[in-house]
């Protein structure tokens, strides 16, 4: 009888054990889903929207809708980051949760940008991103909690996806892309504020000395996280400048940058970090630099803008702060070597806009200016323009072209911040 009872007990014990295991697994799954809900939603939105073209040095294009606030408030409240390594520590500790390592690749980029007005009155911000073959992600964020929706372009090289001869594949690489909101290169928010990052090649010779401010009374921020802060919190150019003024800047990727910001009113500014009374040939101490803001109504533009209907502004890859360069202007040669890199593109864009009083017909006409200075064709070619974007700061829309494929509808997208809709021109036709 006792043996029979034991035989009857064991199935019940086994059932209880199995039920307990199922319960524990379910609890773990629920907990995991709750903790990772935003990350799961973000990764599930990741799309491959254009394949690479190795023959034309084109990387792939991806899109991603970022769910949640990606801990950026925590990043700022914790004092930000004074180096790429500190930023990586924050991202791996909070975003990728230690599952994958992140690295920020070094860069040597060109780039051109301008602000102009369309014939219908819309304010337009044009931008070329010049680099090498690389993968990019069109990154849409809606962080809520008093922050603004935004669209930005992210070079995935900046989050450690450096193999451009392969597509982004597998869960691990997609998790890596969760870091994309921390690495915008240009973008626009729902208030019509747009911004971009441009190499400035500061310092003697052909190298670059990074800005590395050390005011102990200020928190710290890196290049791309500064742009993220602008997109998330600034409703005007002046608000953006005020925000930035409260931080030490630490240039990313072991190089030097300057920046352009514009808003829906047509007010724009170029932000440069330069040491007072020091010229390029002696600019060797990145900690000695301070912020200099040049607005599009600055007196230095008086002659250039004489007779113009709109106060346009242009930026390429040299410091425009008066007196920074020794002696006469030193334009770059055909190989791009020289103190004032991008001066030829700067002069071309100013010439076009100066001839029209700062007015262009529409977004397509603004894109034509970007086409003219694309690296595959400018001055006989050499280099790659990864993307060209025209941000309509009035309508809060984006016209975006991959790798100078200006005549290929499958390489052109439009984005509307109000509706959150990303549309391929190939699908629209």
Q: Three-state SS string across the chain, please?
A: CHHHHHHHHHHHHHHHHHHHHHHHHHHHHHHHHHHHHHHHHHHHCCEEEECCEHHHCECCEEEEEECCCCCHHHHHHCCECCCHHHHHHHHHHHCCCCCCCCCCCCCCCCCEEEEEEECCCCEEEEEEEEECCCCEEEEEECCCCCCCCEEEEEEHHHHCCCCCCCCCCHHHHHHHHHHHHHCEEEEEECCCCEEEEEECCCCCCCCCCCCECCCCCCEEEEHHHHHHHHHHHCCCHHHHHHHHHCEEEECCCCCCEEEEEECCCCCEEEEEEECCCCCHHHCCCHHHCEEEEEECCCHHHHHHHCCCCCCCEEECCCCCCCCCCCCCCCECCCCCCCCECCHHHHHHHHHHHHHCCCEECCHHHHHHHHHHCCCCCHHHCCCEEEEEEEEECCCCEEEEEECCCCCCHHHEEEEECCCCEEEEHHHHC
Q: What is the pLDDT of residue 387?
A: 98
Asked if pLDDT for residue 92 goes beyond 60, the answer is yes
Domain coordinates in residue numbering, the chain: 45-428
pLDDT for 381 = 87
* CATH class of the domain defined by 45-428: alpha beta
What tens digit of pLDDT does each residue of 280-335 get?
Answer: 999 999 999 999 999 999 999 999 999 999 999 999 999 999 999 976 556 555 44
pLDDT at 27 (0 to 100): 39
Pairwise CA distance, residues 349 & 198, whole Å = 16
Confidence tier at 30 by pLDDT (50, 70, 90): very low
Locate 137 and state its tokens: 């992600």
Alpha carbon distance 267, 311 (integer Å): 8
Minimum mean pLDDT range among 111-115, 179-183, 205-209, 415-419:
205-209
Span 85-92, mean pLDDT?
Answer: 91
Give the span between the Cα atoms of 315 and 350, in whole angstroms: 10
Condensed to tens digits (0 to 9), the pLDDT of residues 226-240 reads 999 999 999 999 999
How many CB atoms neighbour CB 204 within 10 A? 13
**pLDDT at res. 227:** 98
Residue 108 in this model has a pLDDT that exceeds 70: no
Percentage of the chain exceeding pLDDT 90: 76
Q: Which pLDDT belongs to residue 14?
A: 56
- Phi-psi region at 75: left, alpha or beta (left = phi > 0; alpha = psi -120 to 50): alpha
Predicted pLDDT at 169: 87
Residue 95 is predicted with a pLDDT of 84
Residue 29 pLDDT > 70: no
Whether the CB-CB separation of 42 and 175 falls below 8 Å is answered with: no
Residue 325: per-residue pLDDT: 92
4 pLDDT more than 60: no
pLDDT range class, residue 380, cuts 50, 70, 90: confident
Q: What is the pTM of this model?
A: 0.90
Rounded-to-integer distance, Cα 404 and Cα 401, Å: 7
Tokens representing 169 are: 């594949």
- Average pLDDT in the 371-384 region? 92
Residue 335's pLDDT is 46
pLDDT at 392: 99
pLDDT on residue 338: 62
Q: What does the pLDDT average to over 126-146?
A: 96
Q: What is the mean pLDDT of residues 2-17?
A: 56
| Interval 104-119 mean pLDDT | 83
- For the residues 51-73, what does the mean pLDDT come to? 96
In this predicted model, what pLDDT tens digit does every residue of 181-230 receive, in sequence order? 999 999 999 999 999 999 999 998 777 899 999 999 999 999 999 999 99
Could you tell me the pLDDT band of residue 28, with boundaries at 50, 70 and 90? very low
């Amino acid at each position: 009888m006792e043996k029979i009872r034991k035989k009857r007990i064991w199935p019940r014990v086994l059932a209880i054990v199995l039920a307990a295991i199922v319960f524990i697994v379910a609890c773990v799954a629920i907990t995991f889903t709750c903790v990772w809900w935003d990350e799961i939603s973000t990764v599930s939105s990741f799309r491959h929207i254009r394949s690479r073209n190795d023959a034309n040095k084109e990387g792939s294009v991806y899109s991603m809708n970022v769910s949640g606030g990606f801990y950026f408030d925590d990043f700022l409240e914790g004092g930000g980051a004074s180096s790429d390594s500190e930023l990586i520590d924050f991202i791996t500790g909070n975003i990728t949760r230690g599952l994958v390592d992140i690295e920020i690749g070094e860069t040597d980029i060109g780039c051109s940008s301008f602000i102009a007005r369309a014939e219908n009155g819309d304010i337009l911000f044009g931008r070329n991103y010049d680099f090498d073959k690389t993968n990019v992600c069109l990154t849409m964020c809606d962080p809520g909690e008093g922050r603004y929706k935004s669209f930005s372009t992210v070079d995935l090289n900046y989050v450690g996806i450096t193999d451009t001869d392969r597509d982004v594949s597998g869960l691990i690489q997609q998790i890596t892309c969760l870091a994309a909101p921390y690495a915008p290169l240009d973008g626009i928010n729902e208030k019509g504020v747009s911004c971009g990052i441009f190499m400035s090649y500061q310092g003697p010779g052909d190298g670059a000395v990074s800005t590395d401010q050390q005011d102990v009374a200020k928190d710290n921020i890196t290049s791309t996280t500064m742009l993220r802060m602008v997109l998330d919190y600034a409703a005007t150019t002046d608000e953006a400048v005020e925000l930035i003024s409260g931080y030490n800047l630490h240039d990313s990727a072991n190089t030097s940058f300057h920046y352009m910001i514009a808003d829906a009113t047509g007010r724009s500014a170029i932000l440069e970090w330069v040491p007072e009374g020091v010229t390029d040939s002696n600019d060797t101490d990145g900690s000695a630099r301070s912020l200099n803001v040049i607005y599009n109504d600055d007196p230095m533009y008086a002659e250039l803008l004489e007779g113009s209907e709109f106060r346009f502004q242009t930026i390429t890859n040299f410091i425009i702060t008066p007196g920074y360069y020794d002696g006469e202007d030193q334009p770059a040669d055909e190989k791009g070597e020289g103190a004032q890199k991008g001066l030829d593109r700067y002069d071309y864009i100013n010439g076009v806009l100066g001839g029209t009083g700062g007015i262009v017909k529409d977004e397509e006409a603004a894109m034509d200016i970007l086409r003219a200075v694309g690296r595959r064709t400018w001055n006989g070619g050499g280099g790659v323009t990864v993307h060209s974007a025209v941000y309509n700061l009035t309508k809060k829309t984006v016209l975006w072209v991959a790798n100078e494929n200006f005549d290929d509808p499958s390489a052109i997208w439009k984005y509307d911040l109000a509706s959150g809709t990303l549309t391929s021109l190939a699908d629209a036709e």
